[in-house]
Amino acid sequence: MKLFEHEAKDVFRAFGMPTPPGGVARTPEEAKKQAEEVGKPVVVKAQVLAGKRGKAGGVKLADNPEEAKKHAEAILAMRINDLPVEAVLVEQKLDIQQEIYAGVTVDRNERKYVIIGSAVGGMSIEELAEESPEKIIKQYVDPDIGLHPFEARSMAIAMGFRGKYINKLAGFFLKLWEIVRAYDVELTEINPLILTADGRFLAADARLNIDDNALYRHRKMVDELQREPVEQNERERLATQEGMAYVELDGDIACICNGAGLTMATLDAVYLYGGNASTFLDLGGGANAERVEKGIEVAIKYDKVKAILINIMGGITRCDEVANGIVSAKRDGNITVPFVIRMVGTNEKEGQEILAKAGIPFLKTMEEAAQKVVSIVQEGA
């Protein structure tokens, strides 16, 4: 379960972690009122469960309440990562001396938590890890033992802090660890954690993701938030309603298959031949024609998709049913992107005959299909 920034900051403050003064607003008038209460220049931030809000225009500076109202009006009309912005957080603009990164997540390979810190905050930690990995400090934590104060202080020192700042920064790492233990957290981060010109540390941002499997232990929080644990865009909701496994990626080739293993292998084949997938869509076992058509409908709603690769291994899923679903989707849907199809197994011959009759080409191997779809996309680029 992902918490909005203002919800995460409520948790942070409950654990004694300082944050900038301000409050949440759901209308432009409320944003103006919050700015008046702050009484200083403010930052107006979109409250949406998506990253890179700043790049999308969802974070604006305002020198006065009227400007805050104007920015809030614009931001509340936005969609970021296809999610509507229904609230903004209005907070005091800070006098920043340094931006820092602090976070905790799970390292499944090590079977431990890992505390992550960097003296260079305010940017994506993934980008920083790629460009300057030496600037990232890590401390692995055995969940049965926890984070020791001396380990938190060692991190602060390794990040380049000295004197009174060591214990102050170590305190943030220790409080983050307390929150992780208390709420079964999968990921929490402050980016940026601000060191102000007058020597204070403040959590200028807050991210908190709670393990869905542990929500039964936190029913009070879920009830107070009064919303579903998972926020999804329209495509994700449609796929969930149909019982399909659906994940959006950064490429431009939608991969529709039956079975998680086959779908993963198809993504790998696309990458092997120089392409990138936009969509992982597993129809599941026994998919009928209607389900196949629904899967295609979901896939083409994603505006990154330039081609669709359908790769089916017929077992309990029958190839003739898949073919009928493809033909129906092509006939009834407003589909402008090309298809590449490979299907083998149960009723393979019948399925291929249905496709051939409809004038839809098909290939016999996954490798051929992956090469074909990549070439189509590259030629059309």
pLDDT in the model for residue 238: 86
CA 209 from chain center: how many Å? Answer: 11
Q: Of the listed 7, 67, 91, 101, which one is catalytic?
A: 101
Domains of the chain: 21-92 (3.30.1490.20), 96-225 (3.30.470.20), 234-380 (3.40.50.261)
* Residue whose entry in the numeric block shows the structure tokens 């602090």: 102
* Residue whose entry in the numeric block shows the structure tokens 């330039």: 306
* Residue whose entry in the numeric block shows the structure tokens 């690769």: 309
Q: Are 289 and 321 in contact (CB under 8 A)?
A: yes
pLDDT in the model for residue 38: 97
Burial of 202 (0-12, 13-18, 19+ CB in 10 A): buried
pLDDT in the model for residue 380: 78
β-bridge partners, 88: 25, 46
**Identity of the residue numbered 327:** V
Compute the radius of gyration of the chain from its Cα atoms: 25
Q: Are 156 and 170 in contact (CB under 8 A)?
A: yes
Cα separation of 271 and 282, whole Å? 18
pTM for this model (two decimals):
0.70
Burial of 134 (0-12, 13-18, 19+ CB in 10 A): exposed
Cα separation of 263 and 77, whole Å? 36
Taking alpha carbons only, the member of 67, 89, 94 closest to residue 76 is 89
pLDDT in the model for residue 150: 97
State yes or no: is 126 an active-site residue: no
Q: Of the listed 5, 7, 186, 189, which one is catalytic?
A: 189
Helix, strand, coil % over all residues of the chain, rounded to 5: 40, 25, 35
pLDDT in the model for residue 229: 47
243 backbone φψ class: left, alpha, beta (φ>0; ψ -120 to 50): left
Cα separation of 94 and 205, whole Å? 12
pLDDT in the model for residue 78: 94
State yes or no: is 101 an active-site residue: yes
Question: What spatial distance separates the first Cα and last Cα of the chain, rounded to whole Å?
Answer: 38
Cα separation of 71 and 43, whole Å? 9
How many C-beta atoms lie closer than 10 Å to residue 241's C-beta?
10
pLDDT in the model for residue 381: 59
Q: Are 269 and 366 in contact (CB under 8 A)?
A: yes
Sign of CA dihedral 102, 106, 108, 111: positive
Cα separation of 292 and 257, whole Å? 9
**What are the residue ranges in the chain where pLDDT is below 50?**
229
